[in-house]
Amino acid sequence: MAVATLKGHRLRSLLTMLGIVIGNASVITLVGLGRGAQRLADNQLNSLGPNVLFIVPGRNDTRRQGLESPKTLILEDAEAIAQQVPSVRRVAPQISLLEVVQAGSITSSATITGVTPDFLPVRSFEVAKGRFVSESDLKAARNVVVLGPDLRDKFFPTGEAIGRRLRIRDQSFEVIGILEPKGAVFGSNQDEVAYLPLSTMVSRLSGRDPTYGISLSFISVEAKDEASMGAASFQITNLLRQRHRILREDDFVVRSQKEALSIVQTITGGLTLLLGAIGAISLLVGGIGIMNIMLVSVSERTEEIGLRKALGARSSDVLKQFLVESLILSTLGGCIGGLIGVGAVTLVAIVTPLPATIGPTMVALTIGFSGLIGLFFGVVPARRAAALDPIVALRSL
C-alpha cells in the first residue's frame, strides 16, 4: 500500500528523495576524498625511505615564525654521526639551493641538491637510466649531474639526455643519470631536482662558510632496523648536543618518518571527519524535506485515513504505513545517492592523482543512516496521521 501510494505521486516522491540523494552522495564523495588525501600523504611519507630520521637545523619556534634557520648543521656533524652512532647504518648529508639551469635554448629555475652516494639507498631512490653519483665523483668533485624525471622532460624533451650537458651558474655539467619518478612530499616535487656530488656543490655553488664550515640543509639518517629508531634518535641528539655545546635549547630537530606520518594522519583524519560532517548536514536537510512532504501528505489524505479507521484500521496500522513510506523514500534515495557518490569517488581516482577510495562498509553505513533519518523525520507525520479521529476526518467527505 505504501509503494502504491508513492507510485501514485512519482514526481513528488522523486523530489522528496532528492535531498537524501544529494546528502548521501555528498557524504560518500567527501569521505572518499578525505581518505584519498590521507592515503596520498601516507604514500608520500613512505616514499621518504624506511627507518629514516631527518635532522633539520634550527629550533622549532624559529621555523614556526617563518624565520631563516641558522647554520647549525655542518658536514662534520654528519661524519661524526656515521662514525660514532652504532645504531646508524648510513648517513646522507645534503645541501639544496634554487638555481637557474640552462640546457640549450631552455632556461628554468630548479632545485639543485648536493649529495653523497649514500643518498640513493637512504632515501630509497632508484636510477632509471645511467648511474648515480659515485665515490670517485665525490673525491674528484666532478661536474656531473643526475636529473629527476620531470627535469629531464623539461630540459631534454626529445632525444637522449645521458651525456648531454647543461649549465648551472655558468658551470657546465654532464648528465650521467635519470632517476625513477618519486612524486611530491609536503608540496615539494622530488622529481624536479638535480643532484650533484656534495663536493662539487661546495666548490662550485654553495661555498664554505669561514666560521661554520660546510653548512648543510639537513641530514638523512638510516637506522639499522625499525627497532633501532628510538636508540638512533636518542644517540644522535646526545652527540649533537655535545658537539654544539648545548646547555638549554637544541639548535636542531630530529624527526622520524613515523612522527611525521602520525601528525599527517591526525590532520587528514580530522579533515575526513569534517568533510563527512558537512555531508551529514545535507542528509539532515533531506530528512527535514521528507518530514515536510509527509505532513502535507497527511493533510491531503485526511479522508483516506478516516475511511480506513472507519473500516477497522487501527492507529498502529496508519502509523506503520506512513513510517514505511518515509523509510522507502529515504532508503531508496540513500541507494541512489550511494551509487552517485561511489561513481564520483571512482572518477576522481581515475582522472586525478588523488587516490580517493570508499569501502563498502562506509557505503552501507551511509545508506543505513539515511534510512534512520527517514524513520526519525517520519515519526511526527505518522503520529499525526495515526492520531486523527475518524469521525472528524470523515466530515470532509
Condensed to tens digits (0 to 9), the pLDDT of residues 32-81 reads 888 887 777 777 666 666 688 888 887 654 444 444 444 678 899 999 99
Predicted confidence at residue 61, as pLDDT, reads 47
216-268 pLDDT, tens per residue? 888 999 888 878 888 888 999 899 988 888 877 887 888 877 777 777 777 77
Number of neighbours of residue 350 by Cβ within 10 angstroms: 8
Residue 30 lies in a domain: yes
Report the pLDDT averaged over residues 166-183.
89
Residue 49 lies in a domain: no
Predicted confidence at residue 62, as pLDDT, reads 42
**CB-side exposure of 170: number of CA atoms within 13 Å?**
0
Predicted confidence at residue 127, as pLDDT, reads 92
User: Which sign, positive or negative, has the C-alpha torsion 181, 272, 279, 376?
Assistant: positive
Same domain, 196 and 303: no
Distance CA 77, CA 248 (A): 19
Predicted confidence at residue 205, as pLDDT, reads 87
| Greater pLDDT, 234 or 207 | 234
Residue 95 lies in a domain: yes
Predicted confidence at residue 392, as pLDDT, reads 62
pLDDT value at 83 more than 60:
yes
291-319 pLDDT, tens per residue? 877 777 777 677 777 777 777 777 777 77
- 186: helix, coil or strand? coil
127-173 pLDDT, tens per residue? 999 999 999 999 999 999 999 999 999 998 887 889 999 999 888 99
Same domain, 116 and 185: yes
Quote the number of domains for the chain.
2
Same domain, 110 and 38: no
Same domain, 128 and 190: yes
Same domain, 211 and 281: no
Residue 257 lies in a domain: no
Q: Per-residue confidence at 119, pLDDT binned at 50, 70, 90?
A: very high
Q: Which domain holds residue 294?
A: 2-44+262-394
pLDDT value at 322 more than 90:
no
Same domain, 160 and 213: yes
Mean pLDDT of the residues in the chain: 82
Same domain, 368 and 298: yes
Predicted confidence at residue 134, as pLDDT, reads 92
Residue 230 lies in a domain: no
Same domain, 37 and 156: no
Same domain, 303 and 366: yes
Residue 255 lies in a domain: no
Same domain, 269 and 209: no
User: Which sign, positive or negative, has the C-alpha torsion 124, 130, 131, 133?
Assistant: negative
Residue 234 lies in a domain: no
In the listed set 222, 251, 275, which residue is the last one of a domain according to the structure?
Answer: 222
Residue 18 lies in a domain: yes
Report the pLDDT averaged over residues 101-115.
90
In the listed set 192, 222, 252, which residue is the last one of a domain according to the structure?
Answer: 222
Predicted confidence at residue 66, as pLDDT, reads 44
Predicted confidence at residue 68, as pLDDT, reads 45
Report the pLDDT averaged over residues 339-358.
87
Please state the φ and ψ torsions of residue 219, each to the nearest 5 degrees: -125, 130
Same domain, 11 and 123: no
Same domain, 196 and 302: no
Over the range 91-117, which residues count as b (16 or more CB within 10 Å of their CB) and which as e? bbbbbbbeeebebeeeeeebbbbbbbb
